[in-house]
Amino acid sequence: MATKLFGFSKESEDFNYDFIGEGEYLADPILPVDGKFILPKLGFDYNALEPNIDAQTMEIHYSKHHQGYVNNLNKAIEGKALAKYSLEKICSLADNKDMATRNNAGGHFNHTFFWEIIKPGGAKEPNGALASAIVRDFGSFDKFKEVFQDAAGKRFGSGWAWLVKGANGKLYVYSSPNQDNPLMSTLGYKGVPIIGIDVWEHAYYLKYTNKRGDYVKNFWNIVNWDVAEKNYSKK
């Protein structure tokens, strides 16, 4: 398998490959406008996440890297039926035959998702149903953090680490390579992403150089647990 589930002995049998269906689990699916996807508005200033993420990194990450994924996705789907689909559906249909679409659809979805689950002065811990589920499935919030940081730290090269809700309602942590995400069947596991962290070097290297672990630890200072709770509540 390209991915590893952390914290559990059971693996793919707990996941329903069709759990996401066509991928449109979000209340507001990410849709193209006249066949073109656009860069979403950022909900905070570039410097708002300091000292956890510096302004220069945020500006480059958003206006260069994310915009690049949007531009290249539009080129990849131009003139195809995919140009009428939501971004979530395109991700759910991703395969090894069209890597340009897979990589850039993943890049657009992942970054859009990432901007939504971080915010200035995020709460230190979740509460409500998500907090209870984390304790149920990991033993404690601290243990969950340890497992998540392990997944993010051990992802070789570029990729992401995710907290995901499986079809059975359980929470899992795993990492994905490149711009793959939990909506894609290419990973072997599908689920609803609750939170995720970008561990590509462009996400942290200007500030943290090779200290990825410090970047991941500081991620907890900016998690938007209100959005994570809403993600967890999605069916």
Tell me what pLDDT residue 187 has.
80
Mean pLDDT, rounded, for 157-177: 95
Tell me what pLDDT residue 7 has.
43
pTM over 0.75? The answer is: yes
Domains in the chain, ordered, with CATH?
A: 1-26+49-235 (3.55.40.20)
- For tokens 């991915």, the residue is 3
pLDDT tens digits, 60-107: 999 999 999 999 999 999 999 999 999 999 999 999 899 999 999 999
Mean pLDDT, rounded, for 134-149: 98
DSSP conformation letters of 94-150: --SS-HHHHHHHHHHHHHHHHHHSB-TT--SS--HHHHHHHHHHHSSHHHHHHHHHH
Are 49 and 222 contacting, i.e. CB atoms less than 8 angstroms apart? Answer: yes
pLDDT tens digits, 12-67: 334 333 344 344 444 478 999 988 999 999 999 999 999 999 999 999 999 999 99
Cβ partners under 8 Å of residue 152, min gap 6:
161, 175, 197, 199, 212, 216
Distance from C-alpha of 33 to C-alpha of 211, rounded to nearest angstrom: 39
Q: Which residue from 215, 70, 53 is spatially nearest to 119, judged by alpha carbons?
A: 53
H-helix segments, the chain: 55-60, 67-77, 87-92, 99-116, 128-138, 141-154, 205-208, 212-219, 225-233
